[in-house]
Structure 1
Amino acid sequence: MSSGLSFGYSNTEFNARAFGVRAAYGSVTDADAALRSGAAEFVGGAIGFDATTTASLIAPEHVDFSAASPETPPSTDSVTRTLSVTPDAVHRARVQSAIDAIDAGRVEKVVVARSLQAELSEAVTPEQMVDRFRATAGDATVFAADLSGSPDHRGRWLIGASPELLLRKRGATVHCVPYAGSAPIHDADGLPVADAADSLARSDKDLREHAYVVDYLREILSPLCTEIDVPARPTTIATRHVWHLATPIVGRLADPTISALHLAALLSPTPAVCGTPTAAAAALIGEIEGRRDFYAGAVGWCDAAGDGEWVVSIRCLELDTASSRITAWAGGGIVAGSDPDAEVAETTAKFQTVLSALGPVAEPARTGN
């Protein structure tokens, strides 16, 4: 089997790099069973938006953990590309369809995304793309997951810089930091938006959107925990391009043998990237967007002790290494009272994480899906 990189995970505390493929699993159940039986000592990779049907999880030949290292400068060679993005008018119409569904009582919240396609003029390796994200992503967790464990995604990688911790498990302690409710830091001209953080913290729409996620996590985790701490109000956290509402949640598991991988599949997708009720929101997303594969799922790792860390797979792209083609996504939570124009602006801001990693635009964006 190949001894090259098969999984990468890097945050402000540590780097984890896995090499080679000892075994690949197309389901969470199979990967979790391998960890419990001792057949695998470490599993890393991606769980799809529908964790019951889509996964690519790798048991590597070996894995290296190290302390967080300085940002790696990306290659100085220009990576030119052509772009196409779901047009503003199309996304605006999708948001309106979601609002209509909310008004009709189908869902209370749904996350609607738009896509971006890029065709690179020269080949880029997963390692090179990781370096680009690390150089531009600030405090976000940079990840790279080989998707070859999923038969439909051979030769493809999920690479990105997620700001959102789905969960971290150490022993009996589980820690979640859900994000929901967002506001651009800069306007369309690149100027700071005055009082953006304060306005977000007071926004009834965004506070309601955030509460759905916190309530969901509390409902799932409480029966599993002997104690759980959930702050009454969220705080505001800034990434390089977007303000977010965030709530740190800490619980103590009654059964510390529950694995981080099992918990990640249990929690994902949260209302932060899907909606509520979950099944109804996922069905509506399928009608509005089409099928989601790995976007808005989870990326992370789990060891034989059941400890591990998973982030929500947002601010990411899928790289086809054979053709150097890229697909990326950006979404926003829609609730009663959402403004379609504001939602278009929010997704535009969220695309900046991927666009910063890709580098200078060689050709203007084309409208289209």
Structure 2
Amino acid sequence: MANPDADGADPDVFILSRPTGSVVANGVRRGFVDARAAAEALRTGAVDAVVGAIPFDVDDPAALITPGTLVHSARPVAGSPGAPHQVLSMSLHPDQPTHRDRVERAIKQIADGELDKVVLARSVDVTLDPAVDVDDLIRALAQGNSEGNAFGVDVGAARGSGGWLVGASPELLVRKQGRTVTCHPYAGSAPRSADPATDRAAADALAASAKDRTEHAFVVDYLRDRLTPHCVEITVPPSPELRSTGEIWHLATPIHGTLRDEDMTALDLALLLSPTPAVCGTPSDLAARFIRDVEGERGLYGGAIGWCDGAGDGEWMVTIRCLELTADRRSLRTWAGGGIVAQSDPGAEVDETTAKLRTVFNALGIETRPNP
């Protein structure tokens, strides 16, 4: 998927695998590092498709591409186990005690009324041997969840430098088909267990958790408020449902709406909605400022990855459970975050990020399992 075919065809620069099918983009006709400029080009018909990644902060560099072709398939990517890799080096940003301190600082600001929720993330830099094969990694990520979720974006194709953004996000930011718009936010989570009884107990506890339901409600309310001016109707279930990946239980709520203006594109909607409180917090501007102060620039993590065609239809996922590979495919950075609210426990928040990192570590088949 990441390399040219033997016959010299254009290489794949983007793939998104979902339970409903997959989308693959080949070749590059134009790259964008300005997400708003890409949306304007699409809206005015200057380009007929855009794929790639929007950053957490839309003012930071995007990795968006107008491809040569955009091919749809009714099938998700066929998963397969990941090839084993050995960890040569690992560095944490920050370590567990420092992340705990950050969580405690956030809880204090929430108690003081400065924030309602903020999502804090940790990153891990890893050097591996052998080099990562992007195709194999995408298939391994698809193997790691029952829905076949996986994605890959050739960041270098958009920016003129090497590197790939690869992941397996379970969270639909927005899908647009004609005037129909769908969101499926995930917020509130618990680690899964190999023991069925323990796993079921974790799911039941999550469903009953006041802390997690509060965290989830912030995201649902935000999406409803953002979509309402643009929709003639919106349907939101009264309570969230339980969904799972290979490593994590989640609270999730399917949201459906009918747009007033069919000309509003899926990319327009992604820029309107991203970042949601599921990866940022609320109030959004204050949470984003807190995140930049304690984490620095997030880049593409926590933004959105997806596609939009010339008709304005498309699908964008929240950029989580992901890693960014360097050009040599031996070094990478991966991230994991958790939503902090008034009832959060700092120790549990550290454990949550560790559990979420397993998505990437499992797909890489890391032989020496780290404990970040």
Q: 1:360 aligns with which of 350, 355, 366?
A: 366
Q: Pick from 156, 161, 164: which aligns with 1:154? A: 161
For residues 76 and 294 of structure 2, what CA distance do their matches in structure 1 show?
Answer: 41
1:319 to 312, 317, 325: 325
Residue 65 of structure 1 is matched in structure 2 by 72
- The superposition leaves residues 59-114 of structure 1 with CA deviations (integer Å, 9 ceiling, x where unpaired) of 111122112156243565x3222333342212111111111221222211000011
For 1:333, what is the secondary structure of its paired residue? strand
Q: 1:140 to 1:107 in 2, by over 3 A?
A: farther
CA contact (8 A) 2:163 2:329 kept: no
Matched, 1:36 2:47: no
Measured in 2, the distance between the counterparts of 1:288 and 1:26 equals 25
Provide the identity percentage.
47
Question: TM-score scaled to structure 2, two decimals?
Answer: 0.92
Which residue identity does 2:313 align to in structure 1? D
Corresponding position of 1:238: 244
Which TM-score applies when normalising by structure 1? 0.92
Aligned to 2:266: 260
**Contact persistence 1:25–1:149 (CA under 8 A):** no
- 1:194 deviates by 5.2
Which of 131, 139, 146 is the equivalent residue of 2:147? 139
SS in structure 1 of the partner of residue 188 of structure 2: strand
For structure 1, the 5+ residue unaligned runs are none
Report SS of the residue matched to 2:14: strand
CA distance in structure 1 between the partners assigned to 2:178 and 2:44 by the alignment: 18
**2:177 pairs with 1:173:** no
**2:61 aligned residue (36, 49, 54):** 54
Distance (Å, rounded) in 2 between the aligned partners of 1:125 and 1:23: 25
Find the partner of 1:24 among 17, 31, 34: 31
User: Which of 12, 20, 24 is matched with 1:13 structurally?
Assistant: 20
Change (3 A) 1:75 1:251: closer
Secondary structure of the residue that 2:168 maps to in structure 1?
strand
Aligned partner of 2:127 among 119, 122, 136: 119
Q: Which residue of 1 aligns with 2:98?
A: 90
Count of aligned pairs: 363
- Asked if structure 1 preserves the Cα contact closer than 8 Å seen for 2:141 and 2:149, the reply is no
Q: Following the alignment from structure 1 to structure 2, what is the Cα–Cα distance between the partners of residues 29 and 194?
A: 44
Aligned residue for 1:195, secondary structure, equals helix
For the residue of structure 2 that corresponds to 1:295, the secondary structure is coil
Corresponding residue number in structure 2 for 1:128: 136
- Kept in 2: contact 1:140–1:239 (CA 8 A): no
Contact 2:77 2:142 in 1 (8 A): no
Counterpart CA distance in 2 for 1:338 and 1:245 is 16
Shift of 1:43: 1.0
1:196 aligns with 2:202: yes
Please state whether the residue corresponding to 1:351 is helix, strand or coil. helix
Q: Which sits farther off after the overlay, 215-224 or 127-136?
A: 127-136
Check the 8 A contact 2:85/2:129 in 1, yes or no.
yes
CA-to-partner distance for each residue in 1:22-59, whole Å, 9 max, x for gaps? 10011222212222333322211000001233311111
